Amino acid sequence: MDSDKHIPLFDNYKCDSSLIQRKSKDSSINTRGRQLLSLCISSSLRILNGRTMGDLMGAYTGFQPLGSSVVDYFLASEELLPNFTYFHTHNFLPDFSDHCQISCMLKCNTKVYERNSNLALMPDEYIWDDNSVSAFQDAINSNEIKHFIRQYKDKIYDQDSINNAAEDLNKIFLKAADLSLKKIIRKPEKSKKKKIKKKREWQDQDIINLKQNLYRKYKLMQNHNSDPYIRGYFFKCPKSY
């Protein structure tokens, strides 16, 4: 677990013998930090920040006007902790948030099953209207379908061939439907072609990048229109554009 200088441990608490001591660039301690450590102790949770490959020094995750701190944590159970192979605190992007994105890589023991080529295809669909009932009944009473029904009744199915019995019965119904109903023909969906906007003759790639950057700043200011930093950053962009 983390350092026991801040939270007293009860006598029967089992500490991790092979756990790397956690490091952090944030040396300050506050009430919320003590509450987080208390939660980890009571629930047998472990903090990935500062002890996992990719973030062994405990990088800052929050950048506020009063200073930087580590306020975004990734917690994992004691049993799951060895399966985390990587943890990373991403670069600070002030245009989007005053917090850094954090991510991790988890090793999972999964089985990849091969696709069963013997799976049956989706059955055909038929148009059903007011005349379909009588037409389907006439097909069932036809000599061709009666012949299939007699063969089905004469065939012996045991307990291990229940699926074969259901499949043979389904074939009889589909054959009767083919004789009496209109089949819905599925047309393959055509992929929609994306319209490629033609670049204006007077525009080069630098102008296009400036235009896209200006639009991103505009959307950001719409969500945070009261933030003076974002507003000032946005109004500087049109000058360069």
Measured between alpha carbons, how far is 232 from 216 in angstroms, rounded to an integer?
14
pLDDT at 1: 45
- CB distance 32 to 38 below 8 Å: no
Q: Is the pTM of this model over 0.75?
A: no
Q: What is the pLDDT along the chain (241 residues), one digit of tens a residue?
A: 455 454 555 566 566 556 778 899 998 888 988 999 898 888 889 999 998 888 989 999 999 888 899 999 999 988 888 888 899 999 998 888 999 999 999 888 777 766 665 655 667 788 888 899 999 999 999 999 999 999 999 998 888 888 889 989 999 999 999 999 988 877 766 666 666 666 566 567 777 777 777 777 777 777 766 667 667 767 776 666 5
pLDDT at 19: 74
* Token representation of residue 116: 């069963």
pLDDT at 10: 57
pLDDT at 20: 78
